[in-house]
Amino acid sequence: MRRVVHEIGNHLAIAVASIEAFRDGLLEPSPEWLEAVLQALREVDALLEELAPEHSSGEPVLAASARPINVCAVVTNEVLAFEASALKHGIAFSVERCMVHDPACVNFDGDPIRIAEIVNNVISNAIRYTPSGGRIDIDCRRSGGALTLSVTDGGPGVRDDEIERIFEAGFRGSASGNTAGSGLGLALVKRFVEEHGGRIDVENVAERGARFTVHLPGTAIDARLAEDGTVSLL
């Protein structure tokens, strides 16, 4: 239940920020922007399905659907969805994204919903900790069959004594202060990344903030999904 509420909040925030940017003239409501809003609302609709009575016994369960996808298109769509929110907070994006038409992006073996949530939560976290006037660097690369996504924020970084706990569900570091958040986002990212056989690292970057780097091998997701096709989530 907590996971579903958390993710619904993320997607609604994207939709609201985009619509407000259209209204205020900060963004032109092009087909690409409108599709980003529609996709956020589609995700809300899918998450609401998990709250239906027939899915309400125990923890929410998301069916696995690992299949060949254009992983760069998934990443690009999530980055686009957050640009309105970045504008609203006075934050600049510097994006080095893998090209969606690059052959290396096609036939990546993964679950598009989970990969979208990985990108969504990491960028949302970066926006939360980057002050107005700051910059977020997003770098997406394919090397062989693997995908590497790094997001560097402009915040205060992560204290050395908190790095080991940063991916614990419910943990909020000392830098969180009065910022909104449940402490679930990075825990979900770690779980989704590990389901794909990957890992996520965090490091502090001099004169910047924290850099979160996701490594996905592009191979079949792990045995927890292979056993019966589903996995219980937070």
The architecture that CATH gives domain 2-232 is 2-Layer Sandwich (3.30)
Residue 160 has pLDDT above 80, yes or no: yes
Q: Is the pLDDT of residue 183 over 60?
A: yes
Residue 218 has pLDDT above 80, yes or no: no
* Residue 176 or residue 217, greater confidence: 217
Residue 30 banded pLDDT, cuts 50, 70, 90: confident
Q: Looking at residue 112, what is its pLDDT?
A: 82
Per-residue pLDDT tens digits for 79-104: 888 888 888 889 998 888 766 666 76
pLDDT value for 214:
93
pLDDT digits (tens, 9 = 90+) for 39-65: 778 777 776 666 655 444 444 444 456
Q: Locate the domains of the chain by residue range.
A: 2-232
Task: Round the average pLDDT of the chain to a whole number and report it.
Answer: 77
Residue 123's pLDDT is: 92
Helix (H), strand (E), coil (C) string for the chain: CHHHHHHHHHHHHHHHHHHHHHHCCCCCCCHHHHHHHHHHHHHHHHHHHHCCHHHCCCCCEEECCCEEECHHHHHHHHHHHHHHHHHHCCCEEEEECCCCCCHHHCCEEECHHHHHHHHHHHHHHHHHHCCCCCEEEEEEEEECCEEEEEEECCCCCCCHHHHHHCCCCCCCCHHHCCCCCCCCHHHHHHHHHHHCCCEEEEEECCCCCEEEEEEECCCCCCHHHHCCCEEECC
Please give the residue that has the higher pLDDT: either 139 or 36. Answer: 139
Q: What pLDDT, on the 0 to 100 scale, is given for residue 6?
A: 67
